[in-house]
Amino acid sequence: MCKENDVPEMTPTTLQILSEWSISDSSVDRALWQKGIDRYGAGSLKDPAGMELAAELLCVALAHYLNGEPSAAESGDEWPRSVVDHTVWDVLVATLQAEHGTSLTPDANKCLRLALAAVRKAGLQSPELGGNGWLSQFFEDARYLHAMAIALSGDDVSADEVAIVVFPWFTGGSAPTPSFVALTKRSPSPIAATTSASSGDAASESHSTIMKGRVGGVAKRIDPLALQHGIEAMQDALTGSGLAKTDKKTGKLKIKKTGVMRAAVRPGKTARKALGGVGLTEHLKSYNQEKATPEASEEE
């Protein structure tokens, strides 16, 4: 069952957050979670109501995770950690990046609270908050931090109060780091005021937005030949694992939603298939041969 962490007063405990949700049999909730994946994948950040519904369906997995998954333990069918990590990502996107306007609805705040409790338990928050940094991009934006503080406090908070609410809730401490305080001091604008999402697949929109800050400037330092072989190796891995397929007409790589869902449930098997299809030895040998031939490098 859920174990309670030390949390600051005036903010909800994990048990209190979990009490807002009903937990059914794991097989029933898996079906709801699957519907959430489908709605999220087919949705748009310009449709906040649709994203909110997707978040609610996805949250059933997080409720099981926070509750210690007793029913799954009895059946021997536990929710994989990879499912939790990616479900948290999708719920944060659906609540923080969808165009909700100046504030979240009560139901969206409920989903955000549950997601943040799962983030804390899994340790996915930014390093300043004691986590491993996997979800740092969500914690490096003052708008999102402001929304988190509101969801956790149950009331509107000023820019000066954001660090007081969010930092101790994740760390159990009372003295925010200077870098975190500097970030939260920024004037919080409406949640989706600068979201650059357009109509289309919500997952593609959100992931491009999140990853944008991580790839800036890298291209200048990449060996073009190494990049070419790296791309080819990645394509081999994606197609070999069943996560993607090559369109016969256009030659472009397309992600297979069924493959992604299978990978979430069976990450180990997918990884083995991916490694088996990469052909790293062949790519490395070809790369070294081409680098050793000046004429070939100059022609490219």
User: Which domain range does residue 261 map to?
Assistant: 222-299
Most confident among 11-25, 78-92, 218-232, 274-288 (mean pLDDT): 11-25
Q: Alpha-carbon distance 169 to 101, whole Å?
A: 26
Residue 107 CA from chain centroid, whole number: 20
pLDDT in tens, 18-37: 999 998 888 888 899 999 99
Between 229 and 271, name the one with better pLDDT. 271
Does pLDDT of 209 surpass 60?
no
- Calculate the alpha carbon distances from 112 to 59, 149, 251 in Å: 9, 10, 40
Q: Alpha-carbon distance 35 to 268, whole Å?
A: 23
**Both 162 and 277 in a single domain?**
no
Q: What is the pLDDT of residue 63?
A: 93
Does pLDDT of 72 surpass 80?
no
Mean of pLDDT over the chain: 75
Q: Alpha-carbon distance 199 to 39, whole Å?
A: 14
**Both 121 and 270 in a single domain?**
no
Bridge partner list, 246: 253
pLDDT in tens, 244-263: 777 777 777 677 666 656 66
**Both 168 and 242 in a single domain?**
no
Q: What is the pLDDT of residue 90?
A: 95
Does pLDDT of 42 surpass 50?
yes
Mean pLDDT of 101-108: 90
**Both 158 and 23 in a single domain?**
yes
Q: What is the pLDDT of residue 174?
A: 74
**Both 270 and 147 in a single domain?**
no
Residue 146 within any structural domain of the chain: yes
Residue 151 within any structural domain of the chain: yes
Residue 1 within any structural domain of the chain: no
**Both 149 and 243 in a single domain?**
no
Q: Alpha-carbon distance 21 to 193, whole Å?
A: 30
Residue 91 within any structural domain of the chain: yes
- Domains held by the chain: number: 2
* Pair 34, 187: CB distance under 8 Å: no
